[in-house]
């Protein structure tokens, strides 16, 4: 009894917190290590044209996060997603590439040596307009890193060749807005939509897609999708206004292999462990981040998480660092917090 | 074992292309013909399309300077690629002055045979159409001498061959397509030539074990067969073999043969339909298999070992964590930030778009949404303009608008009649009585009462008294009296029990009738 | 001065109409003997009352050996379409690939016959330079056909599937299932659309959206405000005379009548 209080105190102190001047949503871990530590990009969430992306430097040895003001830059509208380039992308310069989605797909070069952020490309997929259809999310192909897929409210998914800054292909993917996209392999990706379906696309057969899951209530939107990169058989998705994390097996379409239901409020974010094929982390409105281990056989009472962390507010964003797999990043209110696994 | 053989094929797909071009080069140079092309069979569209090629013919004097070290072979290979790039450039329709690199070709630089080679890229052949299609369907080479003299029905590229003076063309089926060689010389059909050409590809295939090799062996067995049905079976079998193992192939071979001899035609058709169904599902199966083969499950540790108890940010999950709140709270504000980011932020972009561009330029989904929003706006405006809206739904708003318009038309008609002063005074008195009106509109707690009747002393007080008894508290009154015509507009709030519109109308009419009786 | 008058008289005497057989023979014989070239002096030396340009065109398009007479065949038409797709209106390059045809003939045939036949999008338009990269890439948006998949046939299952499905009955059941599912899906969609068009909560959606025509919003609020008691009190402060009101009313109604 007397011991439990110090435990909880020390547990929250093992987290590294960054307080931002504005609310945060998008977040990305860099796979490169710079001179001052690992980079983290965070995007502001202001319902306005003027938003910012800040680059932070994280030193896991000293457990400190500090912003790099020279690498902070303006971004139109809140970025819906941020990603650093995969390690498989070979580039002549030493800079790190950062992609952001929003009104356009934008590529930025973060060069810490010269303390500059340079816009590389502003990409538009609209044939009839000088404005890109608004993008809800994107995913960077780590097998073929010149390939990047975006999804949009205009029901399309667009595959970009970012070396040539051109559209490689564009598919009318769903009946309604597409909310998230995830690559499985160099030519295979999946997406979720407001039409309530998860669909798989193969770029070798662009005329067809396969519906492997539909939400139980008709037209309940699916909001996020994560593909297990350590075991491509498994995907995870979340539904609107639901506390469930639905685990799918691509070999058994339409029937989820598991439904994780221990959040006490809606789930906002999911991320698979980067170096384990059976672990996934979820964050929700109940202010909790849960780490789950998928068992071989689900028990009769459902699956319990392995461990739990309570933040101070609803967790809106969650990323599991692949370069530092001991660390999970969460965003809530105007804070970004790094949790040690 | 057989499944693992697919992986090398996928991984070396890029390298294979260069190998194929090398084979085409070797074949065409060994016989000193003008060009070679590989027509690749595209299973989805079921056509043979240009897959790769090598040009070995005459070229015009090169205008640009080249490094002296470039050998003749490298120059020819470069020429083949330049021809292909020129085709892509012309197809894209780019302006020559904009996109052309200093070493790129222009159409004026080509010889006639180069034109023939370049135009081949634009052709495609659904088997058994065209020379490549015929060779593919028959699984037998097709030799054409005098290609520049025949008509287009015999050789669809005859006109091009005539201007290029291509005299001999041969098409040889192999791999998953057809190899074509052409020359400006007139050469008689030569089976040894065909065998020599095949040997380049066979010798190469033997060093790389692939399903294609076994496919070819199967085709050899059926080479003499020209029956159309059997050809179709062969193609089906070749599709099947890509999915199955050679062991399955033997079984399916026997099954198919037994079907041919024993089963009826109907069963055969059903069987083919079943094959098509499996093929359709097989597309996804192929995708899944490719995924799982190319990405074996990681051998890394299966456990996320949390650090020592003191250092980890996460606490171990206990059963009590789940019991604290059994009821899951999905408040209206659930997933607020996520919904804002997905549902609302993209439409912030739209607002910007809306200010700069005509609506027609918006995407169809967004345009449809904006149209619906406009409809809703206008229904709200319409609801506030029509004085007596009984219900909130769109149909009722439209119905009440129609009623109000009819009411206004009737009023116009009445006012026109007042100009006819020949009316008898007694009739006018009757008209006054008939012209009395009471309109009541109740929207939630707001009441709007409009009325017109013959004036008498104390009338307004009686009306307010009646409203009070119905639980309606008056907040504003506008009245006017003009030549014994009393008009009033009364705004009020409902307090307590809500009276219906009919109740209020009936009560007001009672007040008016009561006066008339007295 | 006198010479100029002579020259103008000669020009008036030049033949401008169709070439006669006799003129064709003179031109053909002369070129056969002396070869092509020097078109400006050829008419005089050959004894033709034509201008040099007219002689050159007559030879090039009609008289030289190898000219193909007669209608353009459908095979030639197909080739012209292919070449035009690549080269645009470069008629001499296109004519070079069709033996015996002249560039003028192909251009006339295209403008008279082929252009109307093709959809407008296929005709090459002068290209506008645009900022968007997608326009330059000429990528078409592909509509994917979604298939619901309830089974995955892995390789080990294939032979089992074949052995177990010799009877045609399960196939037909599967087909009916697929068809029925699709039909139901379509019906549901239509019903949802109809429902969403007329259901009142759409009006509430409007209030929540907080975007759209701001002017209309303000106007709506002003009109709606009349129902609010506080606003009603404001109405009392406005000048209100029955004569003015009636005048307004009658004027408006007269306009309505017209």
pLDDT at C51 exceeding the cut of 50: yes
For residues B406 and B452, state if they share a domain: no
Confidence of residue B238 (pLDDT cuts 50, 70, 90): very low
| DSSP at C121 | G
Last-in-domain residue among B207, B229, B254: B207
More confident residue, B483 or B118: B118
The answer to the question of residue B340 being in a domain is no
> Does the annotation flag C242 for ligand binding?
no
C101, part of any domain: yes
Q: Which two tokens stand for residue C26?
A: 């003179």
Number of neighbours of residue B187 by Cβ within 10 angstroms: 16
Of B197-206, B436-445, B505-514, least confident by mean pLDDT is B197-206
Q: Is B300 left (phi over 0), alpha (psi -120 to 50) or beta?
A: beta
- Which chain C residues are Cβ-neighbours of A170 within 8 angstroms? 134, 139-142
Is A13-272 assigned to CATH 1.20.200.10? no
Which chains, if any, share at least 3 CB pairs under 8 A with chain B? A, C
pLDDT beyond 60 at C135: no
Instruction: Identify the pLDDT of residue B18.
Output: 77
**CB B67: neighbour CB atoms within 10 A?**
6
Distance from CA of B326 to the nearest CA of C (A): 31
| Residue A38 structure tokens | 């690992």
Which one of B227-241, C28-42, C160-174 scores highest in mean pLDDT? C28-42
Label residue B322 by pLDDT band (50, 70, 90): low
CA-based nearest residue to B23, from B216, B210, B196, B209: B196
Q: Would the pLDDT of B453 be above 80?
A: yes
pLDDT at position C56 is 86
Nearest to C165 among B151, B274, B480 (CB): B274
Segment A274-293 shows an average pLDDT of 94
Which of A129 and C215 is assigned the larger pLDDT?
A129
- Answer yes or no: is B486 within a domain: yes
**In terms of domains, do B75 and B127 share one?**
yes
Per the CB < 8 A criterion, the answer to whether B52 and B35 are in contact is no
Please check the confidence at residue A275 and state whether its pLDDT lies above 80: yes
Q: Which of A84-93, C32-41, C79-88 has the highest mean pLDDT?
A: C79-88
- Asked, for residue B214, whether it belongs to a domain, the answer is no
Higher pLDDT, C63 or A155: A155
Distance from CA of C154 to the nearest CA of B (A): 6
Q: Does C102 reside within a domain?
A: yes
Return the bridge partners of A82, or none.
A100
**Residue B299 falls inside a structural domain:** no
pLDDT tens digits, one per residue of B422-440: 454 444 444 444 467 888 8
* pLDDT value, residue B87: 85
A16: nearest CA partner in chain B = B313
Please list every residue in chain B whose beta carbon sits closer than 8 Å to the beta carbon of residue C168: 266-267, 270
Nearest to B291 among A102, A185, A269 (CB): A185
Cβ atoms B321, A308 nearer than 8 A: yes
In terms of domains, do C54 and C82 share one?
A: no
Mean pLDDT of C166-187: 33
* Residue C57 confidence (pLDDT) above 70: yes
pLDDT at A114 over 50: yes
Confidence grade of residue A222 (pLDDT, cut at 50, 70, 90): very high
Over residues C223-242, mean pLDDT: 33
Cα–Cα distance for residue pair A328/A337, rounded to 1 Å? 8
List, as one string, the DSSP characters of B439-457. Answer: EEEEETTEEEEEEEEE--T
Average of per-residue pLDDT values in chain B? 70
Contact A291 B329 (CB under 8 A): no
DSSP C125-150: PPPPP-S-HHHHHTPPEEEPEEEE--
Mean pLDDT within B385-412:
81
Is residue C2 part of an annotated ligand binding site? no
What's the structural domain count of chain B? 3
Which of C17, C12, C25 lies closest to C59, judged by CA? C25
Least confident of B290-294, B353-357, B396-400, C176-180: C176-180
Residue A315 has pLDDT above 80, yes or no: yes
What average pLDDT does the segment B241-252 reach?
34
d(CA A269, CA A288): 11
Three-state DSSP at A192 gives strand
Judge contact between C176 and A205, C-beta under 8 A: no
Tell me whether residues B163 and C217 touch, CB distance under 8 A: no
Report the DSSP beta bridge partners of residue A280: A272, A292
pLDDT the model gives residue B179? 93
Cα(A148)–Cα(A159) distance, integer angstroms = 6
Assign residue C138 a region: left if phi > 0, alpha if psi is -120 to 50, beta otherwise? left
Closest C-alpha to A305, from A274, A283, A330, A331: A283
CB–CB of A338/A329 below 8 Å?
yes
pLDDT at B507: 87
Say whether both B57 and B110 belong to one domain.
yes
- Higher-confidence residue of B223 and A199: namely A199
Residue C205, in any domain of the structure? no
CB neighbours of B228 closer than 8 A, spacing ≥ 6?
A: none
Nearest Cβ partner of A276 from B300, B317, B347?
A: B300
Q: What percent of chain B has pLDDT over 70?
A: 63
Residue in C142, C157, C181, C189 to test binding to A, most A beta-carbons within 10 Å: C142
CATH at residue B500: 3.30.70.260
Q: Which C residues, 82 through 111, put their C-beta within 8 Å of a C-beta on chain B?
A: 82-83, 85-88, 90, 93, 96-99
pLDDT given for residue B297 in this prediction: 53
Span between the terminal Cα atoms of chain A, in Å = 25
Closest CA–CA distance from residue A123 to any residue of chain C (Å): 7
The answer to whether the beta carbons of residues B255 and B244 sit under 8 Å apart is no
Contact A153 B363 (CB under 8 A): yes
CATH code of the domain in which B133 resides: 3.30.450.40
User: Is C51 annotated as a binding-site member?
Assistant: yes
Contacts of B488 in chain C (CB under 8 A): none
CA–CA gap between residue B157 and residue B144 (Å, rounded):
12
Q: What is the pTM of this model?
A: 0.45
Asked if residue C176 has pLDDT above 60, the reply is no
Return the pLDDT at B515.
58
**Tokens representing residue B177 in the block:** 């397509």
Confidence of residue B412 (pLDDT cuts 50, 70, 90): confident
Q: Average per-residue pLDDT in chain C?
A: 57
Please state the φ and ψ torsions of residue A75, each to the nearest 5 degrees: -140, 130
Q: Which of the listed residues B188, B207, B226 is the one where a domain comes to its end?
A: B207
pLDDT at B117: 92
Cβ under 8 Å to C: B residues 353-382: 370, 372-374, 376-381
**Probe site for chain C from A167, A214, A232 (most C CB atoms < 10 A):** A167
How are beta strands A147-152 and A135-140 bridged, if at all?
antiparallel
Q: Using an 8 Å Cβ cutoff, are B188 and B145 in contact? A: yes
pLDDT classification of C150: cutoffs 50, 70, 90: low
Overall domain count for chain C: 2
pLDDT digits 0-9 by tens, B66-77: 445 556 677 777
Q: Does the pLDDT value for residue B464 go beyond 60? A: yes
Distance CA B315, CA A261 (A): 18
CB A215 within 8 A of CB A239: yes
Q: Which of A102, A276, A306 is opposite residue B317, by nearest beta carbon? A: A306
Q: Do B443 and B401 share a structural domain?
A: no
In whole angstroms, what is the distance from residue B88 CA to residue C57 CA? 35
Domain match, B51 and B143 both: yes
CA B385 to chain centre: 43
Residue C209 lies in a domain: no
Range of the domain at C30: 12-64
Asked if B487 contacts C249 with a C-beta cutoff of 8 angstroms, the reply is no
Instruction: Please identify, among B161, B187, B207, the residue that sits at the C-terminal boundary of a domain.
Output: B207
- List chains touching C (3+ CB pairs under 8 A): A, B
Candidate ranges A27-31, B258-262, B275-279, C111-115; pick with highest mean pLDDT: A27-31
Same domain, B91 and B142: yes
- Token pair of B305, please? 């070992």
Q: Determine the pLDDT at residue A111.
A: 83
* C-alpha to C-alpha distance for B66 and C102, rounded to whole angstroms: 36
Residue B15 contacts A where some CB pair is shorter than 8 Å: no
User: Within a domain: residue B203?
Assistant: yes
Q: Chain B contacts of A231, Cβ < 8 Å?
A: 297-298
pLDDT reading at C231 higher than 90: no
SS3 of A85, please?
A: coil
Angstrom distance (rounded) from CA C45 to CA B61: 38
Residue ranges making up the domain that contains B453: 437-513
Q: Are both B161 and B109 inside the same structural domain?
A: yes
Both B394 and B472 in one domain: the answer is no
Residue B429, φ and ψ in degrees, nearest 5 = -60, -45
Q: What is the mean pLDDT of residues A1-9?
A: 38
Reported as a single tens digit per residue, the pLDDT across A165-178 is 889 999 999 989 99
- Statement to judge: residues B399 and B458 lie in one domain: no
The whole-number average pLDDT for the span A212-227 is: 91
pLDDT at residue A234 is higher than 60: yes
Given this model, what pLDDT does residue C164 score?
Answer: 33
Residues recorded for chain B: 518
Whether residue C93 and residue B108 make contact (CB cut-off 8 A), yes or no, is: yes
Q: Is residue B38 one of the residues assigned to a domain?
A: yes
Residue C37 lies in a domain: yes
CA pair distance B192, B199, nearest whole angstrom: 10
> Is residue C24 domain-resident?
yes
Pairing of strands C141-143, A166-172: parallel
Of the pLDDT bands very low, low, confident and very high (cuts 50, 70, 90), residue C151 is low
The total of other beta-carbon atoms located within 10 Å of residue A191's CB is 27
Q: With a cut of 70, say whether residue B469 has pLDDT above it.
A: yes
Strand partners, B42: B47
Label residue B95 by pLDDT band (50, 70, 90). very low
Residue C166 domain flag: no
The full length of chain A comes to 341
When pLDDT is cut at 50, 70 and 90, the band that residue B79 belongs to is confident
Cα separation, B299 vs A122, in Å, equals 40
- Work out the minimum CA distance from B17 to partner chain A, whole angstroms: 17
CATH of the domain at C112: 1.10.10.60
Q: Which residue of B has its CA nearest to A249?
A: B288
3-class secondary-structure state, position B36: strand
CB A38 within 8 A of CB A57: yes
Q: What is the pLDDT of residue A198?
A: 95
pLDDT at B90: 82
Predicted local distance difference test score (pLDDT) of residue C48: 84
**Cβ proximity of A72 and A56 under 8 Å:** no
Tens digit of each residue's pLDDT (9 = 90 or more) over A35-76: 778 899 999 999 888 999 999 999 888 889 999 889 999 998
Burial class (CB in 10 A: 0-12, 13-18, 19+), B427: exposed
Half-sphere exposure of A160 (CA within 13 A, CB side): 26
Domain residues of chain A, as ranges?
13-272
Alpha helices (H) along A288-337: none
Asked if residue A225 has pLDDT above 90, the reply is yes
- In this structure, are residues A270 and A318 in contact, taking their beta carbons and an 8 Å threshold? yes
Residue B92 lies in a domain: yes
Cβ proximity of A60 and A324 under 8 Å: yes
Q: Same domain for C72 and C53?
A: no
**pLDDT the model gives residue B421:** 52
Please give the pLDDT value at position B326: 52
More confident residue, C146 or B309: C146
B300: in domain: no
Q: What is the pLDDT of residue A178?
A: 94
Strand pairing category for A64-67 and A50-59: antiparallel
Contact C124/B at CB under 8 A: yes
Distance from CA of B405 to the nearest CA of C (A): 11
Q: Do B321 and A179 touch (CB under 8 A)?
A: no
Q: What ipTM goes with this model?
A: 0.59
In Å, how far is A264's CA from the nearest CA of chain B? Answer: 5
pLDDT at C7: 43
Compute the average pLDDT of residues B255-263: 32
- Write the DSSP symbol of residue A125: -
- End of a domain among C44, C64, C84? C64
> Same domain for B403 and B446?
no
Alpha carbon distance A184, B366 (integer Å): 29
Q: What's the whole-number mean pLDDT along residues B452-464? A: 85
Specify the length of chain C in residues.
258
Residue C177 falls within a domain, yes or no?
A: no
* Angle at alpha carbon of residue C166, lines to C161 and C167, rounded to 5°: 120
Quote the pLDDT of residue A136.
94
Main-chain phi, psi angles of A273, to 5 degrees: -70, 140
């Amino acid at each position: 009894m007397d011991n439990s209080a110090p435990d909880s105190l020390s547990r929250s102190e093992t987290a590294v917190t960054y307080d931002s001047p504005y609310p945060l949503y998008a977040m990305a871990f860099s796979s490169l290590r710079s001179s001052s530590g690992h980079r983290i990009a965070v995007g502001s969430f202001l319902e306005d044209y003027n938003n910012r992306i800040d680059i932070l430097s994280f030193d896991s040895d000293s457990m400190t996060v500090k912003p790099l003001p020279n690498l902070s830059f303006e971004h139109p509208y809140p970025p819906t997603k941020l990603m650093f380039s995969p390690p498989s992308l070979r580039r002549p310069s030493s800079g790190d590439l950062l992609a952001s989605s929003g009104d356009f797909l934008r590529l930025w070069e973060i060069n810490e040596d010269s303390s500059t952020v340079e816009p590389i490309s502003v990409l538009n997929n609209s044939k009839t307009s000088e404005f890109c259809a608004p993008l809800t999310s994107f995913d960077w192909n780590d097998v073929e890193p010149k390939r990047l897929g975006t999804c949009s409210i205009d029901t399309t998914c667009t595959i970009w060749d970012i070396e040539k800054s051109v559209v490689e292909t564009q598919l009318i993917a769903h009946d309604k807005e597409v909310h998230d996209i995830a690559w499985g392999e160099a030519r295979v990706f999946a997406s979720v939509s407001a039409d309530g379906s998860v669909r798989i696309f193969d770029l070798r057969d662009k005329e067809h897609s396969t519906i492997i899951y539909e939400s139980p209530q008709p037209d309940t939107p699916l909001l996020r999708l994560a593909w297990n990169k350590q075991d491509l058989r498994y995907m995870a998705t979340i539904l609107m206004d639901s506390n469930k994390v639905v685990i799918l097996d691509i070999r058994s379409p339409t029937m989820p292999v598991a439904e994780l239901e221990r959040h006490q409020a809606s789930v906002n974010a999911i991320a698979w462990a980067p170096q384990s094929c059976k672990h996934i982390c979820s964050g929700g409105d109940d202010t909790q981040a849960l780490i789950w281990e998928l068992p071989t056989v689900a028990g009769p009472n459902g699956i319990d998480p392995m461990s739990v962390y309570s933040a101070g507010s609803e967790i809106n964003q969650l990323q599991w660092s692949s370069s530092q797999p001991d660390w999970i990043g969460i965003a809530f209110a105007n804070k970004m917090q790094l949790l040690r696994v | 074992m057989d499944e693992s053989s697919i992986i090398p094929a996928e991984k070396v797909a890029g390298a294979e292309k260069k190998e194929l071009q090398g084979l085409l080069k070797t074949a065409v140079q060994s016989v000193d013909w003008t060009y070679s092309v590989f027509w690749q069979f595209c299973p989805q569209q079921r056509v043979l399309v240009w897959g790769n090629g090598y040009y070995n013919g005459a070229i015009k004097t090169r205008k640009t300077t080249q490094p002296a070290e470039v050998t003749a072979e490298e120059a020819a290979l470069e020429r083949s690629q330049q021809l292909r790039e020129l085709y892509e450039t012309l197809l894209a329709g780019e302006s020559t002055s904009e996109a052309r690199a200093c070493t790129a070709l222009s159409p004026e630089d080509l010889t006639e045979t180069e034109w023939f080679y370049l135009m081949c890229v634009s052709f495609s052949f659904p088997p058994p159409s065209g020379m490549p299609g015929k060779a593919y369907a028959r699984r037998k080479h097709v030799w054409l001498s005098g290609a520049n003299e025949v008509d287009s029905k015999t050789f669809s590229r005859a006109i091009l061959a005539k201007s290029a003076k291509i005299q001999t063309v041969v098409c040889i089926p192999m791999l998953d397509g057809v190899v074509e060689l052409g020359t400006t010389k007139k050469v008689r059909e030569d089976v040894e030539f065909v065998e020599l050409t095949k040997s380049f590809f066979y010798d190469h295939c033997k060093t790389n074990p692939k399903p294609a090799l076994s496919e070819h062996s199967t085709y050899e067995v059926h080479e003499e067969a020209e029956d159309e049905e059997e050809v179709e079976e062969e193609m089906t079998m070749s599709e099947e073999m890509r999915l199955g193992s050679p062991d399955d192939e033997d079984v399916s071979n026997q099954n198919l043969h037994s079907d041919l001899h024993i089963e009826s035609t109907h069963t055969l058709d059903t069987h083919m339909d079943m094959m098509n169904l499996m093929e359709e599902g097989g597309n996804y199966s192929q995708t899944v298999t490719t995924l799982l083969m190319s990405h074996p499950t990681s051998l890394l540790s299966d456990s996320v070992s949390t650090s020592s108890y003191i250092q980890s940010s996460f606490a171990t999950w206990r059963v009590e964590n789940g019991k604290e709140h059994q009821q899951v709270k999905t408040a209206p504000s659930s997933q607020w930030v996520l919904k804002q980011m997905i549902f609302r932020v993209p439409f912030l972009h739209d607002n910007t778009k809306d200010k700069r561009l005509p609506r027609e330029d918006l995407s169809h989904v967004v345009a449809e949404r904006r149209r619906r929003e406009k409809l809703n706006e206008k229904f709200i405006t319409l609801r506030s303009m029509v004085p007596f809206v009984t219900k909130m739904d769109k149909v009722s708003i439209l119905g009440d608008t129609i009623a109000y318009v009819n009411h206004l038309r009737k009023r116009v008609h009445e006012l026109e009649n007042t100009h006819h002063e020949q009316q008898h005074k007694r009739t006018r008195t009757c008209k006054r009585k008939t012209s009395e009106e009471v309109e009541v509109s109740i929207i939630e707690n707001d009441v709007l009462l409009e009325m017109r009747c013959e004036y008498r002393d104390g009338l307004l007080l009686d009306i307010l008294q009646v409203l009070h008894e119905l639980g309606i508290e008056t907040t504003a009154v506008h009245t006017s009296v003009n030549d014994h015509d009393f008009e009033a507009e009364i705004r009020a709030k409902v307090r307590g029990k809500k009276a219906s519109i009919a109740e209020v109308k009936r009560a007001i009419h009672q007040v008016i009738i009561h006066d008339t009786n007295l | 001065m006198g010479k100029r008058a002579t020259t103008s008289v000669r020009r008036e005497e030049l033949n401008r109409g169709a070439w006669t057989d006799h003129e064709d023979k003179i031109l053909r014989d002369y070129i056969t003997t002396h070869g092509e070239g020097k078109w400006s002096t050829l008419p005089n030396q050959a004894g033709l009352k034509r201008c040099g340009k007219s002689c050159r065109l007559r030879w090039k398009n009609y008289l030289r050996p190898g000219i193909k007479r007669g209608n353009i065949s459908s095979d030639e038409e197909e080739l012209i379409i292919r070449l035009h797709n690549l080269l645009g209106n470069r008629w001499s390059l296109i004519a070079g690939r069709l033996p015996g045809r002249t560039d003028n003939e192909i251009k006339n045939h295209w403008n008279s016959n082929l252009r109307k036949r093709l959809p407008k999008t296929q005709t090459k338009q002068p290209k506008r330079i645009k900022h968007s990269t997608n326009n330059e890439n000429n990528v078409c948006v592909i509509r994917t056909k979604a298939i619901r998949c309830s089974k995955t046939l892995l390789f080990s299952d294939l032979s089992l599937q074949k052995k177990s499905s010799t009877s045609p009955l399960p196939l037909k059941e599967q087909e009916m299932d697929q068809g029925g599912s699709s039909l139901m899906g379509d019906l549901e969609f239509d019903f949802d659309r109809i429902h969403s068009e007329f259901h009142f909560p759409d009006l509430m959606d409007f209030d929540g959206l907080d975007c759209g025509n701001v002017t209309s919003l303000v106007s709506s609020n002003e009109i709606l405000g009349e129902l609010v008691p506080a606003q009603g009190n404001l109405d009392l402060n406005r000048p209100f005379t029955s004569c003015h009101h009636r005048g307004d009313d009658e004027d408006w109604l007269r306009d309505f009548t017209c």
